[in-house]
Structure 1
Amino acid sequence: MKWMQLPLGPLQTNAYLLINSKRECLVIDPGSEGEALIQYIEEKGWTPLAVLLTHAHFDHIGAVDSVRDHWKVPVYLHKKEKNWLMDPSLNGSQFFQLGAITAKPADILIQEEGNLIISDFTLEVLFTPGHSPGSVSFYHEESKVVFAGDALFAGSIGRTDLPGGDHNRLIKSIHDKLLVLPEETTVLSGHGMTTTIEREMDSNPFLNGF
């Protein structure tokens, strides 16, 4: 399998596509520019099977309905954020000068950690709250990648000053759920460049007290 990173929208939020050999794909965090994203996927000849959300902040959900409606696929979101897609005060869009950003409710609420199987795709759902109360990360062992949303960045961690944020809980999530992954695991973050678990263990100042 292969993956693609697509920075979208004014905040350059990273959307990701995970593609299998049958040219099926999963769309992870489609944050904006729905028409452009749809055009790109169609030009590649890929067929989305689902939309997976690491969390429901506004910059990760702007193209959710565009993708869902175009391909008639389900949207997955953790149960702790079931109301966030519809509520600008929860998803944070009301606090920024971008207008209210909303989407229809998720089709499938993630209830717990464990394997999520969609066609040939098997991802391990890791509950990584702190940036938001329902943040999850999706670990794809076969590709040696983890889609970490806004929990962990190259040299940084997610902000915790939006509704439901909790700095101490985020640090615990990172240590307990992400840093225990194989060190060669590539971290695919919600913003910025990719990194690895090893690199963040060794040099991330937020995790090492530098």
Structure 2
Amino acid sequence: MNWEQIPLGPLQTNCYIIANKEKKCLIFDPGEEGSKLIRHLEQRKLTPLAILLTHAHFDHIGAVDDIRNRYHIPVYLHEQEKGWLMDPALNGSQFFMMGPIKVNPADHVINGEGKMEVGDFSFEVFATPGHSPGSVSYYFEDGFVVSGDALFQGSIGRTDLPGGNHEVLIKSIHEKLLVLPEETQVLPGHGPTTTIESEMDSNPFLNGF
């Protein structure tokens, strides 16, 4: 299994493609530039099975319908944010100059934690709220976790948007992410990848907790 990081849109939100040897793939957070992402998938001869969202902020959802409609695949999102896709005030697009973003409802809502399977892919879902109330992280035993905007290299997600809570975010990171094997690669929603070990050692927002 391998992963690719593709920054998309004006905020360079990281979309991730997780693919297996059979060229099947999962798509995480297709934030913008749907045509660019489709071209990439076609060039790589990949067959998407699903779209999984770490949360429903506008910069993570802008190309959801482009990809869903092109490949006729389901979208997964945590139940606490199931109404955000259609609401520019909740997904935050109302407050930015690019204009309101509305996306059709998710096909499946995630309402718990634990093992999840999509096709031949198996992974774990962790609730990691704080940046937003329905933020989740997806952990693959191959050694990586898609953390959305919870944890970044040397930083953490902002908590000044609707439903954000700094204390809740710190608790999520410590209880759900920092307990993973230290060599686990962290695939964040923005910026470069990192590891659990690096963030435990040097992230200024986590030291001394």
SS of alignment partner, residue 49 of structure 1: strand
SS of alignment partner, residue 3 of structure 1: strand
Partner of 2:132: 132
Q: Could you tell me which amino acid in structure 2 is paired with residue 110 of structure 1?
A: I
- TM-score, length basis structure 2: 0.99
1:203 aligns with 2:199: no
Q: 1:120 Cα shift?
A: 1.4
- Partners in 2 of 1:141 and 1:91 — Cα distance? 30
SS of alignment partner, residue 202 of structure 1: helix
Partner of 1:173: 172
- Partners in 2 of 1:22 and 1:118 — Cα distance? 14
SS of alignment partner, residue 206 of structure 2: helix
SS of alignment partner, residue 90 of structure 1: helix
Give structure 1 stretches of 5+ with no counterpart.
none
Q: 1:119 Cα shift?
A: 1.4
1:42 aligns with 2:42: yes
**Deviation by residue 1:126-153 (Cα, 9 ceiling, x = unmatched):** 00000000000000112x0000000000
More helix by share: 1
SS of alignment partner, residue 109 of structure 2: strand
- Which structure 2 residues correspond to residues 81-100 of structure 1 after superposition, within 5 A? 81-100=81-100
- Partners in 1 of 2:195 and 2:41 — Cα distance? 27
Partner of 1:185: 184
- Partners in 1 of 2:131 and 2:123 — Cα distance? 21
SS of alignment partner, residue 35 of structure 1: helix
SS of alignment partner, residue 205 of structure 2: helix
- Which structure 2 residues correspond to residues 60-139 of structure 1 after superposition, within 5 A? 60-139=60-139
Q: Could you tell me which amino acid in structure 1 is paired with residue 75 of structure 2?
A: V
- 4+ long deviations beyond 3 Å: none
1:162 aligns with 2:140: no
- Partners in 1 of 2:168 and 2:20 — Cα distance? 34
- Partners in 2 of 1:10 and 1:43 — Cα distance? 23
- Partners in 2 of 1:19 and 1:109 — Cα distance? 23
Q: Could you tell me which amino acid in structure 1 is paired with residue 36 of structure 2?
A: A
- Partners in 1 of 2:119 and 2:58 — Cα distance? 28
- Partners in 1 of 2:207 and 2:87 — Cα distance? 36
CA RMSD, Structure 1 to Structure 2 (Å): 0.8
Count of matched residue positions in the alignment of Structure 1 and Structure 2: 209
1:52 aligns with 2:20: no
1:2 aligns with 2:2: yes
- Partners in 2 of 1:72 and 1:147 — Cα distance? 23
1:20 aligns with 2:16: no
Q: Could you tell me which amino acid in structure 2 is paired with residue 201 of structure 1?
A: M
- Partners in 1 of 2:116 and 2:69 — Cα distance? 22
SS of alignment partner, residue 208 of structure 1: coil
- TM-score, length basis structure 1: 0.98
**Percent identical:** 67
